[in-house]
Amino acid sequence: MRRQARFDESTRMTEKTTREDSGNSSWKEAISSWRKPILRSSLWQLMNSLVPYFALWGLMIWTTGISYWITLALSVVAAGFLARIFIIFHDCAHGSFTGSRPANRILEFLTGVLTFTPYRQWRHEHALHHASSGDLDGRGAGAIWTLTVQEYLDASRWKRIAYRTVRSPIVLFVIAPLYLFLIHHRIPSRTGGSHVRRGVHLTNLALLGILIVMSLTIGIKSYLLIQLPVTLFGGMVGVWLFYVQHQFEGVYWERGENWSFEAAALRGSSFYKLPRILQWFTGNIGFHHVHHLCPAIPNYNLEKCHRETPMFRQVRPVTLMSSLKSLTFRLWDERRRQLVGFSRIRRIRRGGSVSA
């Protein structure tokens, strides 16, 4: 019941509301001015994301007949713009990109097709993520599989093998992005309603239409040689960002009865301080603590909100270098209240106790 209530609240938040029962509500007034979308900013972001992306596609089509290495190099840049397009899709799912709900829904569908992501199903799963982020009793949809130390010790041998496999960097950041965007998103969720399933089918039909058109124009081989690396590199960026945003040193995790919305936003979502060019390509999503506190804030307002709101000065940033430490995190140690690596398991087994 608690998780369902949070899910309902998170769903309402995607329609530009904020949580009314979160305890201290002083932050609402502090950030309220940043929630309003700015039409010219939305239009400009659409232009500087979509136009270069399609232009790069044209260049990649042309270079496939010259040198595929040039095509691959261009695909890395195109993947950066695809990540930026995904942030537009993300904002539309929250109803925050424009002030018009119909416009948000149309753009959500179109950018969802470009990013191989079914808009309704992803919106549903992402609302679950917002409702349960940082809640040890609410782990599930829309989150990276994370076990506690005790859960890992109690797991069967095959579950431990599966967990170690899933949490390996190759699987997590190379195989998983391709599976997620090319396969997983093509299958309707069992938990979604008929409208969610229709959304998946509509996205799949649109993608099939693109595949047919590309096959008849540039050829299926050329299309796949371009689309696959763009999807892979863009997916790797997306999965890495999502990983670092909730798997970093000092992250907040708590059992359901003690879970706090504000703590989950401010301490359970990272302030990923990226170099300016990477911040631009990732649509300011590094200010993830601001986003989780109020998903109604458009991505182009996140930095300004962070910079001009005193309460965010206490949030410690995660830098590009320090974020690499996240690669060593595998489990949540409830006793130490921190993420640890598998070496912790070896020490426990030698000591014979979780508290050792």
Residue 227 scores a pLDDT above 50: yes
- DSSP characters for 103-169? HHHHHHHHHHHHTT--HHHHHHHHHHHHHHTTBTTS--TTS---EEHHHHHHS-HHHHHHHHHHTSH
Reported confidence tier of residue 4, pLDDT bands at 50, 70, 90 = very low
Give yes or no for a contact between 352 and 305, defined as CB atoms under 8 angstroms apart: no
pLDDT of residue 140: 75
Average pLDDT of the chain is: 89
Find the mean pLDDT for residues 62-69.
94
Q: What is the reported pLDDT for 191? A: 76
Q: What is the average per-residue pLDDT within 323-349?
A: 90
Place 139 in a pLDDT band, splitting at 50, 70 and 90.
confident
What is the structure's pLDDT at 352?
Answer: 59
Q: What is the pTM of this model?
A: 0.90
Q: What does the block give as tokens for 95?
A: 């109803």
Position 125 pLDDT exceeds 80: yes
- On the question of pLDDT at 93 being above 80, the answer is yes
Query: pLDDT confidence of 354, banded at 50, 70, 90?
Result: low
Average pLDDT over residues 7-16: 44
User: What tokens were used for 37?
Assistant: 């979308």
pLDDT bucket at 333, cuts 50 / 70 / 90: very high
Q: Give the number of C-alpha atoms closer than 13 A to the C-alpha of residue 311, restricted to the C-beta side.
A: 17
Place of tokens 């401010």: 266
Assigned token pair, 351: 């000591």
> Where are the domains positioned within the chain?
2-150+169-328
- The answer to whether 332 touches 339, Cβ cutoff 8 Å, is yes
Question: Does the pLDDT value for residue 1 go beyond 90?
Answer: no
Highest-confidence segment of 210-214, 264-268, 351-355: 210-214
